[in-house]
Amino acid sequence: MAAATKIDPMHQFQIAPIGSETLEASPFLFTNSALWMLIVLGAILVFMWGGFRRQLVPGRWQAAVEGLTGFVDNITRANIGPEGRKYLPWVFTAFIFILAANWMGAMPFAILGAHPFTVTSQFTITGMLSIISFAIVLGVGFWKHGLHFFSLFVPKGTPLALKFIVAPIEFVSFLVRPFSLGLRPFIAMFAGHILLEVFGNFVVQGLNAGGAMGYGVSLLAFVFVIFVAALELLVGAIQAFVFALLTALYINDAVNLH
């Protein structure tokens, strides 16, 4: 039986310059994260431009693009109201970036010899997205309502005695929101890719070990990997949807202060 090598599922999340293994202490490096962000951007541009033909009767491609934009437009309109149109550009940007990055990272490019990198599996990326969302929330809130925006922390109709308890709780809950918003897509991608890596390694190690036991484990792990990969596509879409939905809800808090 071949000696089992130690599985290292964290290696896939390593950011390094192209063609190197370690990150040097220089801010000007073209890393794999940057490369895959550009690839994601290219994929989004190709997809969107393909749908910009403005035919009266949309073809398949245009229908796909219109369905996606209409879906996000519906999220903002249902949650923010008629004013939601103004915030559609950011909500759609975040939605399609997270969606495309999640799906590009889950594609089996490794068969072609490339090393796919899931951009959203780094908290720096999703954290920045959630910080931008909260900059919009705070900016809009203070711009529209001034210091009256602080009444966000006191729900309407709270009895005076309860106000002193509810306000700190609401305040803490507001402070935690950017973290949970950014943490969610990151953790989902992180956990899913660890799972894929660990069970992918089980397939290889089972084949190396040989014997009925080894091949059986290998086959089971292979079936499991297929299901997890399908689940990963679903989770990638749900996380993008949830990010857009929560962003719209938080902006709604700022726009329509109760």
Partner 1 sequence: MELASAQVIGAGLAAIGVGAAAAGVGYVFGSFLQGALRNPSAAGGQTGTLYIGFAAAELLGLMAFAVAMIILYAR
| Cα-to-chain-centroid distance, residue 222 | 26
Cβ(83)–Cβ(255) under 8 Å? yes
User: Is residue 237 part of the contact set for partner 1 (CB under 8 A)?
Assistant: no
C-alpha to C-alpha distance for 254 and 258, rounded to whole angstroms: 9
User: Is residue 246 part of the contact set for partner 1 (CB under 8 A)?
Assistant: yes
Burial of 170 (0-12, 13-18, 19+ CB in 10 A): middle
Smaller CB separation from partner 1, 48 or 176: 176
Closest CA to 192 of 102, 104, 125: 102
Taking the complex as a whole, the smallest distance from the CB of residue 160 to partner 1 amounts, in Å, to 30
Smaller CB separation from partner 1, 249 or 257: 249
User: Is residue 233 part of the contact set for partner 1 (CB under 8 A)?
Assistant: no
Q: List own/partner pairs for 255-258 with CB under 8 A and 24 or more apart.
A: 255/80, 255/81, 255/83, 255/87, 255/140, 255/144, 256/80, 256/81, 256/83, 257/141, 257/144, 257/145, 257/148, 257/149, 257/151, 257/152, 258/151, 258/152, 258/155, 258/156
Taking the complex as a whole, the smallest distance from the CB of residue 39 to partner 1 amounts, in Å, to 25
Smaller CB separation from partner 1, 51 or 84: 84
Smaller CB separation from partner 1, 51 or 192: 192
Select the span of 43-51, 152-160, 165-173, 244-252 touching partner 1 (CB under 8 A): 244-252
Token output for 182: 């950014």
> Which residues in the 45-104 window bind partner 1 by CB under 8 A?
75, 78-79
Pick the binder of partner 1 from 154, 183, 217, 233 (CB under 8 A).
183
Pick the binder of partner 1 from 72, 88, 188, 196 (CB under 8 A).
188
Smaller CB separation from partner 1, 44 or 194: 194
Taking the complex as a whole, the smallest distance from the CB of residue 20 to partner 1 amounts, in Å, to 22
C-alpha to C-alpha distance for 86 and 78, rounded to whole angstroms: 13
Pick the binder of partner 1 from 62, 249, 253, 257 (CB under 8 A).
249
C-alpha to C-alpha distance for 80 and 90, rounded to whole angstroms: 13
C-alpha to C-alpha distance for 78 and 62, rounded to whole angstroms: 23
Cβ(243)–Cβ(99) under 8 Å? no
Select the span of 38-46, 139-147, 224-232, 245-253 touching partner 1 (CB under 8 A): 245-253
Select the span of 6-14, 52-60, 92-100, 102-110 touching partner 1 (CB under 8 A): 6-14
Smaller CB separation from partner 1, 43 or 242: 242
- Footprint of partner 1 (CB under 8 A): 7-10, 75, 78-79, 180, 183-184, 187-188, 190-191, 194-195, 238-239, 241-242, 245-246, 249
